[in-house]
Structure 1
Amino acid sequence: MFGVLEVSVCGTALCVVYYIKEQYDYTVRKLPPGPSSLPLVGNAFNLDLKYPHRSLAELSKKYGDIFSVKLGTDRVVILNSSEVIKEAYRGRDIASRPQIYSLDLLMGDKGFMAASQDHEQWSIHTKLCMNAIRLVNDTTMNGKIMEEIDYLVNQFNNKGKVAFDPKDDLMLASLNIICNLIYGQRYQKGDPELQNILHYSAEILKVISPLHPVNSMPWLRHFPNKWFDALFKAKNMRDRTLMKKYVEHVAKYEDGKINDMVDALLHASKKAVSEKDEDAINALSPEHIVINMWVMFFAGSDTVMNTLLWALLYMVTFPKVQAKVQDQIDQEVGREQPVTMDHQKQLPYLNATICEIQRYSSQAVLGVPHCAATDTQVRGYTIPKGTQVLANLWAVHHDKDCWKDPEEFRPERFLDDDGNMRNMSEFPHFMPFSTGRRVCLGRSIAKKEMFMVLGNLMQKFIFDSPVGEEPDLEGETLISLVPKPFNIVVYKRV
């Protein structure tokens, strides 16, 4: 039996070896520098998990625009400026996806946009996904969005100037847009299937962050743990729901008739079979399609809902901006016809406001995790193959060296002296959909949703805070930065 002294000596020796190994990584292997970490837990005590983007921005002041931290036992490289992000993400070397336990469990190697690590497979998946998005975008997208706008207008009309939290209505509208887009169905409040979707989505959302212990310390799965139990149950519930939708689509599919993205993928599958395209056939198995139904759902519904929540919160906080958006809509579109994508060039202030909402909120605080596909170098530092890389997009969007008065909400920064939208090439530091080869594939759909939904709501309503309630703009971090619960009052514009 070891005595207390022996255990203490062994523990001290192991800590010394750990420290020497870490210094070796920094000085000899030339890994990006960072704060000293602890065995097993890494830099857990250096990070505020409620606001990791702020903690990392503070660390960059000491360690530079490229540095590293330990999440559990894994070293993660942090990119903290637009220049180093673009340098790192522009090629193939850091265009892979890391092995994150929860993502591996949820998607395996079948996710179009998240889990495919092989470049050739990723290229095939991306092409198929983009073609599916394009097919739906060209046929039924506008109608699906307008259907949910009508729902929101009716819901807000029924509030009767009583304060309410808009999250549930915006969540249902955003979810219905993406479900309608993916498998041609929308839900009413209280629908049992909808409740299942909301339940498993909420459980997955709790553990999907790379900073969560499920991912930073996956060895915890070998012990009784409520996080892992909830994740497994959520995955099974998700798989049953989406496989049911896939089987229903296969049964009723009509060749050449594209109502949604599953139809578009089935069309692509049949085309691949007829052309004997083995790569496409392998990428369009039932399992691939089901997993990617979820990937598109997860990426699409959460992002748009949170952007719209931030939008309403900012409109009640900055009423002068709200009034300017509404004045331009009145002048250029009027109040009788709906705001559509045909009005985009006529409404530069609305476009600028949406850009400022994206910059100011920076809800995708650390972007989607990247991974080094090979040993590579950035700014003279070595990033070994398999190392996870995160881009602090929040820091980029609030960098005082890149933006004048970044703490101010000012859409005018995106407009020229004549009030027209400036060319977005003038804003190399603006990257709400990330950048490089892994830029968000659904950005065109997200932009369309935000423009149409916000434009029509602003056309019809004035948004205000309840008397005595002060808006809180700090937000809270889940997988993205989301507004804390808040109430609004809506008044119909007359």
Structure 2
Amino acid sequence: MEVSSVYLAVATLASLLLLSKVLFGSSTKQQWPPGPKKLPLIGNLHQLGGGGEPLHWTLADFARKHGKLMTVWFGSQKPNIVVTDLELAWELLVTKGADYWSRKMPFLAKITTAGYRTMSACDGGPYWESLRKGLHATALNPQTISSQTKLQEQDIADMISKMQQEADLNSGVVKPLHHLRELAIRLIYRLSFGTGVPIEERFVRRMDELIEEQMGIWAAAHLVDVFEFTKHIPGLKPPLKETKAHTERIKELLRPCLAASKKYSLSGNNTHLSFLLSQGFSEEVILLNLFEVFNFGVDSTSASIVWALGFLILERETQEKLYKEMEAKLGGSRRMVRVEDVSGMEYIHAVVKETMRMRPVAPMAMPHRAARDTELKGLKVKEGTSMMVNLYALLHDEKVWKDPNRFVPERFLKRNGADDLKKMERYYFPFGAGRRVCPGIELAKVEVAVALANLVNSFEWRNAVEGQPPDLSETLCPLLEMKTPLVARIVPR
């Protein structure tokens, strides 16, 4: 009996310790900042998207009521701490970047990211660092990008020709988005596989379709995560099955490219694929890392250019000022605007920067997750806590941006004063900041600038219907796009 009592006491103590661990986890007790009142199961979902407002607008409104550091519940999942303050965002993303470099990914994303083994999906650490360094050393290496210049210029010339053909068939009206998506696909293809593997039109069309498909998959993935218990419900099988089928379609498209370029890449070609192959990764990890670059690169650059065109149609004086800059740079020549031309032009870069400030393509960025027990401005943050930064709100903060809701490229010109420019540069992060900033940010800036310069140099961009300006309303799905796709009238210069 005495022995049994000892065993019982030990078992009871062990159970209590285990229960304590489950309930309280680490020694750091999570502190939740204030936030909007939640309801059981749905959290704050009933308060999000009211009146058709995008999520980043609603969260900015919440922040004005509840504070720059607040707690928001998306359904039944664990709450998110949302940051809407410049200094707090800097601390989270830059100063304490290593404390918050883990990722919070949707359940279904495990399928599309090879078990969270792609660069955007994996937690920070040696594996993530190797992926990032490998991409920068190969596809995003300045020499590699420079070697693509002539081919990219030819792609832009072909795109402009196709736009003119479309306009000729439609009384001068064009839909520029699909042309810009194809342009981006061709560039990323060469950076991924090298110039030795010819790209087929079928590949361009199919890749464009799969990227569009991915947007729907991610929307479903986030919906499943909102109600975590649905992971175990039989009714989840359709989206789960579709996600698996979608991932197989990605592999089917990229597998022939892998086979065709494998030998070429291993011979020393400086491509993304050559790096991935050198690491001994599985085929699935290689193919889905390749697709991820297409997925993020195509959507972000094409959306940014379309937003810029929309603003330039509304702001005719800005469009004319931009054209005059190119006219002066080219000396009246009707040749293409080249990369070296753009590097010496100030106003085009101001237009691109202002476009990305007004309409950052990822206004809520990708959620971060605390990699360890830490703090944020004195708030205790427990390992595993989900952190979100409202980049859109920060890029419209009146403390930094005068008249933040106006499209004013001139704010980025040097004549504005060193102090203002220094402040704007510090808090200008449309692609995030710190360790997990978008790896392709510099390429994106150049690609957008060169394409936009040639579009404005080739055509005057006007309203599709006289007197009816384009609708620049936003929709988040999951990137920031125009609610009504841009349609414009182009007039050859």
* Fold match by TM threshold 0.5: yes
The residue aligned with 1:491 is: 491
* Secondary structure at 1:482 match in 2: strand
Q: Which has the larger displacement, 440-449 or 377-386?
A: 377-386
The residue aligned with 2:172 is: 162
Alpha-carbon separation, structure 2, partners of 1:50 and 1:236: 35
The residue aligned with 2:357 is: 359
Q: Which has the larger displacement, 410-419 or 229-238?
A: 410-419
Q: TM-score, normalised by structure 2?
A: 0.84
1:302 aligns with 2:288: no
- Closer, same or farther: CA 239–347 of 1 in aligned 2, 3 Å: same
Structure 1: 5+ residue stretches without partners: 1-27, 270-280
Measured after TM superposition, the shift of residue 328 of structure 1 is: 0.7
Alignment map for 1:400-479 (pairs within 5 Å): 400-417=398-415, 426-466=424-464, 467-479=466-478
Measured after TM superposition, the shift of residue 410 of structure 1 is: 0.5
Q: Which has the larger displacement, 358-367 or 468-477?
A: 468-477
Q: Which has the larger displacement, 87-96 or 222-231?
A: 222-231
Alpha-carbon separation, structure 1, partners of 2:343 and 2:467: 38
The residue aligned with 1:248 is: 260
Q: Which runs of 4+ in 1 moved over 6 A?
A: 418-422
Alpha-carbon separation, structure 1, partners of 2:253 and 2:334: 40
- Closer, same or farther: CA 124–293 of 1 in aligned 2, 3 Å: same
Q: Choose which of 97, 100, 106 in structure 2 pairs with 1:94.
A: 100
| Residue pair 1:53, 1:394 contacting (<8 A) in 2 also | yes
The residue aligned with 2:285 is: 288
Measured after TM superposition, the shift of residue 252 of structure 1 is: 4.4
Alpha-carbon separation, structure 2, partners of 1:157 and 1:30: 58
| Residue pair 1:110, 1:116 contacting (<8 A) in 2 also | yes
| Residue pair 2:43, 2:73 contacting (<8 A) in 1 also | yes
Alpha-carbon separation, structure 2, partners of 1:118 and 1:351: 32
**Structure 2 counterpart of 1:244, one-letter code:** P
Structure 2: 5+ residue stretches without partners: 1-28
| Residue pair 1:100, 1:210 contacting (<8 A) in 2 also | no
The residue aligned with 2:46 is: 45
Alignment map for 1:73-84 (pairs within 5 Å): 73-84=77-88
- Closer, same or farther: CA 147–345 of 1 in aligned 2, 3 Å: closer
- Closer, same or farther: CA 419–323 of 1 in aligned 2, 3 Å: farther
| Residue pair 1:145, 1:449 contacting (<8 A) in 2 also | no
Q: Choose which of 109, 113, 135 in structure 2 pairs with 1:103.
A: 109
| Residue pair 1:350, 1:455 contacting (<8 A) in 2 also | yes
Measured after TM superposition, the shift of residue 212 of structure 1 is: 3.0
The residue aligned with 1:57 is: 60
Alpha-carbon separation, structure 2, partners of 1:217 and 1:136: 47
The residue aligned with 2:32 is: 31
Alpha-carbon separation, structure 2, partners of 1:356 and 1:179: 28
- Closer, same or farther: CA 365–349 of 1 in aligned 2, 3 Å: same
Measured after TM superposition, the shift of residue 203 of structure 1 is: 2.4
Measured after TM superposition, the shift of residue 486 of structure 1 is: 2.5
Measured after TM superposition, the shift of residue 166 of structure 1 is: 1.6
| Residue pair 2:36, 2:44 contacting (<8 A) in 1 also | yes
Q: Choose which of 204, 225, 229 in structure 2 pairs with 1:215.
A: 225
Q: Choose which of 388, 393, 407 in structure 1 pairs with 2:391.
A: 393
Measured after TM superposition, the shift of residue 167 of structure 1 is: 1.8
| Residue pair 1:207, 1:214 contacting (<8 A) in 2 also | no
| Residue pair 1:34, 1:69 contacting (<8 A) in 2 also | yes
The residue aligned with 2:480 is: 481
- Closer, same or farther: CA 194–217 of 1 in aligned 2, 3 Å: farther
The residue aligned with 1:234 is: 246
Alpha-carbon separation, structure 2, partners of 1:254 and 1:121: 21
**Structure 2 counterpart of 1:469, one-letter code:** Q
The residue aligned with 2:274 is: 263
Q: TM-score, normalised by structure 1?
A: 0.84
**Structure 2 counterpart of 1:78, one-letter code:** V
Alpha-carbon separation, structure 2, partners of 1:51 and 1:126: 31
Q: Choose which of 315, 323, 326 in structure 1 pairs with 2:323.
A: 326
Alpha-carbon separation, structure 1, partners of 2:62 and 2:418: 38
| Residue pair 1:137, 1:445 contacting (<8 A) in 2 also | no
Alpha-carbon separation, structure 2, partners of 1:423 and 1:398: 15
| Residue pair 1:50, 1:477 contacting (<8 A) in 2 also | no
Alpha-carbon separation, structure 2, partners of 1:357 and 1:141: 25
**1:334-364, Cα deviation, whole Å (9 max, x unpaired):** 4333222322353101110110011111221
**1:376-423, Cα deviation, whole Å (9 max, x unpaired):** 211222222112211111101111222100111100000133899985
1:145 aligns with 2:152: yes
Alpha-carbon separation, structure 2, partners of 1:461 and 1:186: 28
1:119 aligns with 2:125: yes
1:224 aligns with 2:224: no
Q: Which has the larger displacement, 231-240 or 307-316?
A: 231-240
State the superposition RMSD in angstroms. 2.5
| Residue pair 1:203, 1:230 contacting (<8 A) in 2 also | no
Identity %: 24
The residue aligned with 1:10 is: none
- Closer, same or farther: CA 139–318 of 1 in aligned 2, 3 Å: closer
Q: Which has the larger displacement, 427-436 or 158-167?
A: 158-167
Measured after TM superposition, the shift of residue 247 of structure 1 is: 2.2
**Structure 2 counterpart of 1:101, one-letter code:** F
Q: Which has the larger displacement, 383-392 or 435-444?
A: 383-392
Measured after TM superposition, the shift of residue 210 of structure 1 is: 9.3
Q: Which has the larger displacement, 330-339 or 472-481?
A: 330-339
**1:200-224, Cα deviation, whole Å (9 max, x unpaired):** 3222212425983123224334332
- Closer, same or farther: CA 477–110 of 1 in aligned 2, 3 Å: closer
Measured after TM superposition, the shift of residue 108 of structure 1 is: 3.6
